[in-house]
Amino acid sequence: MTDTLVAMLKLSPLRLRAGNSTCGCCGGPMFLVQSMRGGFVRKNCKCGNSDYLSEQEFYELDLWIDCPTCKTRMTPTRAFSGNYAYRCDCCQEAFKLADLLPFWNQL
C-alpha cells in the first residue's frame, strides 16, 4: 500500500471493535488502534486504557477485506516484521492492519 493511500486512510480510519473485549477500567468497548509508528496494533478504550491484542484475538477478528487488486478475500497473517497484516493469496499483495486504523491518540 502506498504512503499516499495510507495517509488518506488515516484521515478517516475504521473504528473496529476488538472482538467482545471490554475495558477493565470503565467497562467500555475496546477498539483496535495503531499504537506506534511501524504498525504495532493494540486495543484501546476511549477512557485511555489499553491492552495488547493477542495473536489469537487477531485471527478471531473475522474481518472480510477485499484485495484492492483482484478483489479476493485477503488472509490474516504476520508480515512486515511480525506486525498483523492481510495478504492476498492470489496476487500476494499485502498491507498492515494498522494502515486501516486510527492512531491511539485519535480514538
Quote the cell numbers at residue 33.
Answer: 488502534
Q: How far apart are the first and last CA of the chain?
A: 23
Domain count, the chain: 1
Q: What is the model's pLDDT at position 47?
A: 93
Euclidean distance between CA atoms 37 and 80, whole angstroms: 12
Compute the CA torsion angle 22, 23, 28, 33 (nearest 10 deg).
Answer: -90
- pLDDT of residue 20 exceeding 70, the answer is yes
Q: How does pLDDT run across 33-69, given as a tens digit for each residue?
A: 999 888 999 999 999 999 999 999 999 999 999 998 9
For 64, the domain range is 3-106
Quote the pTM value.
0.84
